[in-house]
Structure 1
């Protein structure tokens, strides 16, 4: 008889059972244990093949690459009220810009607080406008076209739009304001951001001209220029580069900052910014000293006493249409359908619908912005 096997016969069931020698049983269990991991791997491979596709990209194989050094975020810009004698109640030390506009704010010396450029009447980004009534809306226009932002009897402001083709499925272009033209008293003022590939905050990309002649500003914050032809007109740097304040006494103040589209903005909004053009554009804030009741334009109409806001307040992006009403033939042309500009029309009537800033200084306007000194309707 084989020394490793004993045969047992069950007479009740007629079955035969092999009784295995203990040593051989141990060897068989070891072999079975080695096969179990292989079976698990095989089942996992089959399951992976049959799994539905995922929206997420597959994980990278092989060793992890070295983590790139993260770019340091720029420190918040600091602003303060100058000169100290005019604003004795404001802190003398610089104030940091809020987190939501760390590189684009100014000091409101009436409230002694830093204010985001894009939170007051003006235009920023893929143009988001804030009107004289304090309400925000979008006006996309068209790329490589010019539109009248404001048109009044002795003041006209046009904007030149640049842009990129919208992503698949979009019916419009992405657009930004690259430059503005300000027409007043027969003069032509140009404020624009130069086209640039790689953006550097320390390199000035602002370009200004008056009647075709360059406005030459000295470097450095607070550097100022005054026009010999128009003594009431001044330009002051609000930062060492890429920020200016343009003012015509008693008429208007325009704050302009040249800014790029960052890689992160392009990624999030799918702007498709390329290496040869960072789409430098202007963030703008307006303040007007006096306007007539007949003022018009994309933003101008929001200063009218009879203006009615018809935007859907529940919409995430209330958008103004009617591009054809605001299109001009060129940046310096006051020929949009709603144009009001007539500089040779004579002196201004002080009772034509809007108060002068000097008449309302020190009071809070009812524009919904809680600011002081903003144009208020009578």
Structure 2
């Protein structure tokens, strides 16, 4: 039964994550599971009506680890976070889900850039923002921006600094080769590159959510979210009135990575990857941050960098459809 239930939940999560694939057609979730997204960030304990046994409705709530979006299994009010299941997802104080399905933290350091994925034809850096806590040996950190390199191109995805969060205001910043990417503020609006066939950006919500796709290479879903006062209180983040620390929850899907891929997340896609993290920890932490430090958001100078070892990406983008 346990194995069957795990298989069912894995299928539920893959269906719920259809937004990560621009080309995916809308599909129905099984009748006993629904995605719950509260309307306003930071309003915790918002009730979700779940059809229970004997036709009665149950009042359910998202797990406190993912109050802004969760999968609710009915009946029984079982709540799950997407980050617990979907490989390639990065959420919160960076909690990664590796390609092997295991979760781990990588804290990095605020105001620095780290190599997340580095392959011969693709390089992804993440810029970390954060808050220092004098009682801890590390910073609280979140991913504020991505710098993506392929062929001779540079794609930037950033969450703009925000003093006061408003759900209806777009805080996304997108550029391609230094030029702003302009997309109408409308759910489903789409931008397509004239220079690179197969490169598109599609809004997954009217504001603050997009999927970036390079056909045959990657799909990256980014959602800008704030740190709320309640988040700060519960976790002792120490957020001040001058910055909501807007950051990304991110989902990655990669196609055709080489066996030599590296980086914080990239290494988990290697066929020879062995998880050396502590299996007894409630949430293992990946160390070795000096190996992943890059000098800026587009730099490919981290110790484990693989980018530029061949030029195959030009063939991929040239033939994408």
**Contact conserved, 1:96 with 1:102, CA < 8 A, in 2?**
no
Q: 1:117 to 1:242 in 2, by over 3 A?
A: farther
Q: 1:90 to 1:268 in 2, by over 3 A?
A: closer
Aligned to 1:148: 115
CA distance in 1, matches of 2:24, 2:139: 46
**Contact conserved, 2:121 with 2:311, CA < 8 A, in 1?**
no
Aligned to 1:261: 227
Is 1:188 the equivalent of 2:126? no
Selected match of 1:97 from 32, 36, 44: 36
**Contact conserved, 1:117 with 1:284, CA < 8 A, in 2?**
no
CA distance in 1, matches of 2:170, 2:211: 15
CA distance in 1, matches of 2:311, 2:137: 45
Which of the two has higher C-alpha Rg? 1
Higher relative contact order, chain-length normalized (CA < 8 Å, sep 6+): 2
What are the residue-to-residue correspondences of 1:348-367 with 2, within 5 Å?
none
Aligned to 1:27: none
CA distance in 2, matches of 1:181, 1:204: 20
CA distance in 2, matches of 1:191, 1:159: 10
CA distance in 2, matches of 1:294, 1:122: 21
Aligned to 1:198: 164
State the SS of the aligned residue for 2:116: strand
The TM-score, its normalising length taken from structure 1, stands at 0.64
Is 1:157 the equivalent of 2:124? yes
**Contact conserved, 2:108 with 2:141, CA < 8 A, in 1?**
yes
Q: 1:80 to 1:334 in 2, by over 3 A?
A: closer
Shift of 1:80: 8.3
Is 1:133 the equivalent of 2:100? yes
Aligned to 1:346: 311
Q: 1:104 to 1:157 in 2, by over 3 A?
A: farther
Aligned to 1:175: 141
What are the residue-to-residue correspondences of 1:237-256 with 2, within 5 Å?
237-256=203-222
1:46-104 deviation digits (Å, cap 9, x = unpaired): xxxxxxxxxxxxxxxxxxxxxxxxxxxxxxxx9988xxx9748637xxx6436344644
Q: Which sections of structure 1, spanning at least 5 residues, go unmatched?
A: 1-77, 107-114, 349-378
Shift of 1:312: 1.2
Shift of 1:185: 1.2
CA distance in 2, matches of 1:310, 1:145: 25
CA distance in 1, matches of 2:261, 2:177: 24
Selected match of 2:267 from 294, 301, 305: 301
CA distance in 2, matches of 1:189, 1:290: 19
1:280-319 deviation digits (Å, cap 9, x = unpaired): 0000110011100000000000000110001111102311
CA distance in 1, matches of 2:252, 2:67: 20
Q: 1:237 to 1:105 in 2, by over 3 A?
A: farther
Is 1:327 the equivalent of 2:266? no
CA distance in 1, matches of 2:284, 2:28: 37
Shift of 1:127: 0.6
What are the residue-to-residue correspondences of 1:11-90 with 2, within 5 Å?
87=25, 90=28
Q: 1:79 to 1:317 in 2, by over 3 A?
A: closer
Shift of 1:139: 0.6
1:2-31 deviation digits (Å, cap 9, x = unpaired): xxxxxxxxxxxxxxxxxxxxxxxxxxxxxx
Task: Please identify runs of 4+ aligned residues in structure 1 that moved more than 6 A.
Answer: 78-81
Aligned to 1:285: 251
**Contact conserved, 2:107 with 2:140, CA < 8 A, in 1?**
yes
Aligned to 1:353: none
Selected match of 1:122 from 89, 111, 126: 89
Is 1:275 the equivalent of 2:214? no
CA distance in 2, matches of 1:223, 1:272: 36
